[in-house]
């Protein structure tokens, strides 16, 4: 007799990136047409040498790096985030208003665990980040889709009509995963005003903030002296410093809220990994110019994507920024089937829009996400050539 299975877990879809990787099973890629993998947004190169040396030195010479640390993270890293965020956003953030987590996914899980339970609702603009949807499904929290329309920018007025007595939060990801678009400051402010008026949280995930094409602060939410009553900010060190394997993320929120996060962390991870935090702190203190160079390269790849898809037959660029391009295709083939065919017939692995949309929304069947950050400009040109030469 099989062991019991939590029905909420059973109803949650499989991890999309892992599912896509299985499409590679049994497929061979000739030397003159190697696989172009644009399915996952994660650096594939190691951190710069200075950061690696800092990690190695800590591993060898710092005994505390191998022990349990504070549940909410190293005090030095929390203070550094508070100081740099205060300067960057023109606000006042204290060290005890920062928590360090095992990656930004865990930051999202931790903060939503403090806000909502089974039967509650959280509003997610669509296309949504699939791991956000998966976590809410596992917890029995209803993810309420907020369509964003052709421009892929959510509207606060449309969200207002979705708020119910069960709504606990609205989630915004900017620059967006999967759509790549950067939300205007006035959009974020309108959502802040809506969330405050309705007594719910505004969760702003800025995992890709280091690759925003705009200069200066992308919003003024932290400049609001009362930001703590509404705003929760999430961040990842994985992209800026190539620390994906070390899993380091952050939450900025009111200190009392983080006391509740501490309960979650203590049960799930006990504490974030020490070496990853040491690496993140070293990066924050020493790699600003290096990160600026990484940003310039990503922006150049973004420009290459925009140029490559400007006149690509059968493909329309809907959004492009940070690590992602979100496109619509008119092949007449449903995007999940098209994604599998492109692996076999064009040597391209990308994710279908159905992985980012409700099953009831037919738009997902015409859309695809391209994670271009790991493909150089020559690779982007090759991607366009393969898509141009491929026919259903």
The C-alpha torsion from 229 through 234 and 240 to 241, rounded to 10°, is 110
CA angle, corner 18, sides to 301 and 22, nearest 5? 100
Per-residue pLDDT of 223-277, as tens digits, reads 999 999 999 999 999 999 999 999 999 999 999 999 999 999 999 999 999 999 9
Looking at residue 149, its pLDDT comes to 87
Cα(232)–Cα(193) distance, integer angstroms: 14
Cα(252)–Cα(93) distance, integer angstroms: 8
Looking at residue 384, its pLDDT comes to 95
Looking at residue 43, its pLDDT comes to 83
Looking at residue 41, its pLDDT comes to 79
Domain that holds residue 335: 7-46+290-389
> How crowded is the C-beta side of 313, counted as CA atoms within 13 Å?
7
Same-domain check for residues 177 and 207: yes
Looking at residue 85, its pLDDT comes to 98
Last residue of a domain, one of 287, 310, 339: 287
CATH number at residue 316: 3.90.1150.10
Q: Is residue 138 part of a domain?
A: yes
Same-domain check for residues 326 and 268: no
Cα(193)–Cα(296) distance, integer angstroms: 33
Name residues of the chain where pLDDT drops below 50: none
CATH number at residue 215: 3.40.640.10
Per-residue pLDDT of 118-156, as tens digits, reads 999 999 999 999 999 999 999 999 999 999 988 999 999
Same-domain check for residues 160 and 201: yes
- Say if residues 207 and 234 touch (Cβ distance below 8 Å): yes
Looking at residue 42, its pLDDT comes to 80
Cα(298)–Cα(323) distance, integer angstroms: 7
Cα(373)–Cα(376) distance, integer angstroms: 7
Q: Provide the token pair at 192.
A: 């802040």
Cα(378)–Cα(367) distance, integer angstroms: 24
Q: What is the DSSP string of 40-71?
A: -----SPPPHHHHHHHHHHHHH-GGGGS---T
Q: How many domains does the chain have?
A: 2
Same-domain check for residues 277 and 322: no
Last residue of a domain, one of 242, 264, 287: 287
Last residue of a domain, one of 265, 287, 309: 287
Looking at residue 390, its pLDDT comes to 86
Q: Provide the token pair at 367.
A: 């859309």
Strands 367-371 and 324-329: antiparallel
User: Could you give the 3-state DSSP secondary structure of residue 315?
Assistant: strand
Give the residue carrying structure tokens 């010479």.
61
């Amino acid at each position: 007799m099989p062991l019991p299975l939590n029905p909420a877990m059973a109803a949650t879809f499989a991890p999309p990136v892992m599912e896509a990787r299985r499409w590679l099973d049994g497929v061979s890629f000739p030397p003159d047409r190697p696989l172009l993998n644009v399915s996952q947004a994660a650096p594939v190169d190691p951190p710069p040498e200075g950061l690696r040396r800092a990690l190695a030195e800590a591993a060898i010479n710092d005994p505390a790096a191998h022990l349990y640390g504070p549940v909410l993270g190293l005090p030095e890293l929390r203070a550094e985030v508070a100081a740099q965020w205060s300067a960057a956003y023109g606000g006042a953030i204290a060290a005890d208003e920062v928590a360090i987590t095992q990656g930004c996914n865990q930051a999202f899980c931790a903060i939503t665990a403090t806000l909502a339970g089974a039967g509650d609702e959280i509003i997610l603009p669509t296309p949504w980040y699939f791991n956000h949807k998966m976590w809410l499904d596992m917890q029995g929290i209803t993810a309420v889709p907020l369509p964003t329309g052709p421009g892929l920018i959510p509207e606060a007025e449309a969200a207002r009509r979705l708020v119910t007595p069960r709504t606990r939060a609205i989630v915004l990801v900017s620059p967006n995963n999967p759509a790549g678009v950067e939300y205007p400051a006035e959009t974020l402010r309108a959502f802040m005003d809506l969330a405050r008026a309705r007594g719910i949280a505004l969760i702003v995930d800025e995992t890709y903030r280091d690759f925003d094409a705009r200069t200066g602060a992308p919003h003024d939410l932290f400049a609001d002296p009362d930001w703590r009553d509404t705003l929760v900010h999430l961040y990842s060190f994985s992209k800026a410093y190539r620390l994906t394997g070390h899993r380091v993320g952050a939450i900025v929120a009111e200190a009392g809220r983080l006391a509740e996060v501490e309960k979650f962390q203590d049960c799930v991870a006990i504490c974030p990994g020490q070496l990853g935090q040491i690496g993140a702190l070293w990066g924050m203190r020493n790699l600003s110019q290096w990160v600026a160079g990484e940003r310039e390269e990503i922006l150049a790849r973004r420009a290459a994507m925009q140029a490559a898809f400007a006149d690509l037959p059968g493909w329309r660029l809907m959004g492009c920024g940070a690590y992602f391009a979100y496109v619509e295709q008119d092949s007449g083939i449903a995007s999940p089937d098209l994604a599998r065919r492109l692996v076999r017939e064009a040597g391209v692995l990308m994710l279908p829009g159905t992985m980012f949309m409700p099953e009831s929304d037919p738009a997902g069947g015409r859309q695809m996400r391209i994670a271009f950050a790991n493909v150089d400009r020559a690779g982007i040109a090759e991607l366009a050539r393969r898509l141009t030469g491929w026919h259903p």
